[in-house]
Chain A
Amino acid sequence: GAVVSQHPSRVICKSGTSVKIECRSLDFQATTMFWYRQFPKQSLMLMATSNEGSKATYEQGVEKDKFLINHASLTLSTLTVTSAHPEDSSFYICSASLAGGHTDTQYFGPGTRLTVL
């Protein structure tokens, strides 16, 4: 099956710093990548949808200036948490879609655990 990687798997940072998380599709080209956030004992909440070469579409309530998404190539999308605060601590998961249309399937990365001190 399609493989999606994320880096780093775990990051601890100080409040006020910025953190970049990478999401790569290893064996396929992903027209669309998605970023989710998962709180403990809760489901995945979609943060934004990014299409290669265009601006990301953010879900309601997600600050686009705080969570910067770049999808510069068909195999790489990055999420930058700017000026991180303790409330941004969470598990961030990306997924990549093969076709981006209505019959595609999303393949998920292993997630990145962010802890902001």
Chain B
Amino acid sequence: AQSVSQHNHHVILSEAASLELGCNYSYGGTVNLFWYVQYPGQHLQLLLKYFSGDPLVKGIKGFEAEFIKSKFSFNLRKPSVQWSDTAEYFCAFRGTSYGKLTFGQGTILTVHP
């Protein structure tokens, strides 16, 4: 069965700290990978996505993610977080043989000013 695992449920950082959120998926075929963010009281927004090509993907607001096929991973990174990055982050993937999106459990990021 396909699944996504996010390693951390809650991450607490100070402003300017570097961020890396782990995401691993379980699926035997080609995948599309996504990171979504949900700011407090708002709807899910797409941060970045990977379909093919360069495995290092850059998204909005300075976020990037790297697809490492051998590790089935798609970790999200940001070199210097801001207070406004406080939100919940969801990793998701879709096997390209079937359009269903499978979401990870989510990681709550709290950034202290």
The tally of residues in A whose CB lies under 8 Å from a CB in B reads 26
At the interface with chain A, which of B12-20, B76-84, B95-103? Answer: B95-103
B45 cross-chain contacts in A, Cβ below 8 A: 108
Tell me whether A12 is interfacial, beta carbon within 8 Å. no
Q: Write the chain A residue with the least CB distance to B46.
A: A105
Output the least CB separation between A34 and chain B (Å): 7
B42 cross-chain contacts in A, Cβ below 8 A: 110
Q: Are A103 and B106 in contact (CB under 8 A)?
A: no
Q: Are B105 and A102 in contact (CB under 8 A)?
A: no
- The 8 A CB mask of B29-58 against A (1 = contact, 0 = none) is 000101010000011111001010000000
Which residues of B are in contact with A by a Cβ distance under 8 Å? Answer: 32, 34, 36, 42-46, 49, 51, 90, 94, 96, 99-106
Which residues of A are in contact with B by a Cβ distance under 8 Å? Answer: 1, 4, 32, 34, 42-46, 49, 59, 93, 95, 97, 100-111
